[in-house]
Amino acid sequence: MSGSVQSRRSSIDVLIRVRPLRAELQEMKSAWDISASTLREKGNPDSLFTFDHVYGTDTTTQTLYERSVRNSIVTNVVKGYNGTVIAYGQTGSGKSYTMLGGSVSGDYSSPDGIVTLAVRDLFSDIEQEQQRNPSMRVTVYVTMVEIYNEQLRDLLAPPGAATLPLLIRENEHGVYVHNAIKRQVASARECVKVVHAHAAARVSASTAMNEMSSRSHCVVRILVERIVPLEDVSDFFSMSSEEEGENGDGMRRKIVAALNLVDLAGSERVAKTGSTGVRMVEGGHINKSLTILTTVISRLTEMSGSGNGSSGATPTFVPYRDSRLTHLLKTAIGGNSLTAVFCCITPAVQHVDESRSTLQFAARAKAIKNKVSVNEVADSKTKLRMMEVEIRRQKRMMLATTIYLWSKNLRIKHLQEKLDELCHLGAADPAAAAAAGASGGGPYALRTTPKEQQRVIIEELTRQNGVLQQELAEARGALERQLGPENKTLAGTQVTAAVAMALLMTVRSNSCVQMCVI
């Protein structure tokens, strides 16, 4: 990461959503006792799961979004942090409904999903930010990729059009899909329209457990690029108006954040879905990628020390690259992202095993901590200007240090002149030297002979001279440490010039002291 890299630890926020029983699927009885923070399996008192939030069957998507996504993720994306919302669970548990609302089944009259709600608030926050800072420029892009049978597919690509191969790449800001189409969107309405229109292109099919079962993982990524002019680096070290005019319109601060909205395909059992042929192959790829995701979660939990109760577990290899899904989610899980995972379950008795497995996954995931920071990108022009500002700052510091050293040199010179005067006076008239020393009071007045008084004066002046030389050396060392190795050449000439006079005075002082003592 470049630029502002102040970071903090953030736990993955794991939330449970329980969908209502569906009579058309012969779901007549619930297997769970549900409260605001716990789920207990009926007839199995040892099977108790505790979470920060458990959203029951009567909770709307709007409510869970406001409580768990709006302020913790969407608001921070506008500030420059990555954010991720993931829907996880078995097939038919309500993941796509949670993320996309009724549009996934063509019912646009039903409540909006998290994608629509997040996009609206994102653009609203951007508009408010621009009102506070009119000089800021914001550009929003959207990409949509699905992972079908472990292959990447660009949902924004025109049907039948030749496209470049999609590749998962990493840079200092995280993981991204190389060659994926980035479509610029100017409003929340346009962005939502793009997402809903192309979400319909996902591979889906009807199974015994879900009439509209997604056969792929879908990742909607909304990129927010902010460019903010740097009007003033600091009051003291800012550029002058002339310096500003020399290089155009000044420096810019570029911040790029991503909001990832992930709708995972659901795990399924062949015996329950009745899948055969192509559907069975699809289910195999889905289950494999979700199994690897579970492994990644388990390894990260072990690394955090939660797996064995210790706080310093041995580093463990995390197999992110074992599947396209986990590789693409590397930033979201254990990386630089504020992440919320909605684990969706059905309370029906016939699905108790799948629901228990989902809750076990959720219990492990909540122990993971991400390290999040603002994603700031400095372009070459800004980097150059910042270096120029830093050089000017260092020059000012060297000037201040030179003035300080000059004042020390004046004091050394004054002591040297006094020492020279006493040396000459002592050689020409010992009695006058004694009187001069005695008139100074202090330790000199206690000496009875002129020679003894002269010796004490010379010792005191020599001591003061040594103290000043030590201060001079410390000041020079502090300046060189502050400049750092990259600026030592720049510092060398100016610091050496400032110190040379002091060193010359030291040599003269020492020579005179030795001559007087002899």
Which residues are documented as binding site for ATP? Answer: 89-96
Q: What does the alpha-carbon distance between residue 176 and residue 74 come to, in Å, rounded to a whole number?
A: 19
Query: Can you spell out the DSSP letters for 253-322?
Result: EEEEEEEEEEEPPPB--HHHH---HHHHHHHHHHHHHHHHHHHHHHHHHHHTTTTTS-SSPPP----GGG
Question: How many CB atoms are located within 10 Å of the residue 88 CB?
Answer: 25
Annotated binding site: 89-96
Q: What does the alpha-carbon distance between residue 188 and residue 171 come to, in Å, rounded to a whole number?
A: 28
Question: Which DSSP category does 80 fall into?
Answer: T
Q: Work out the end-to-end distance of the chain between its first and last CA atoms, rounded to an integer number of angstroms.
A: 66
Q: Is 323 helix (H, G, I), strand (E, B) or coil?
A: coil
Name the nearest CA neighbour of 221 among 255, 185, 260: 260
- For residue 177, give both structure tokens: 């899909």
| b (16+ CB within 10 A) / e for 297-306 | bbbbbbbbeb
- The one-letter amino acid at 184: Q
Q: Are 41 and 31 in contact (CB under 8 A)?
A: yes
Q: What does the alpha-carbon distance between residue 485 and residue 503 come to, in Å, rounded to a whole number?
A: 24
CA 26 to chain centre: 48
Q: Are 199 and 100 in contact (CB under 8 A)?
A: yes
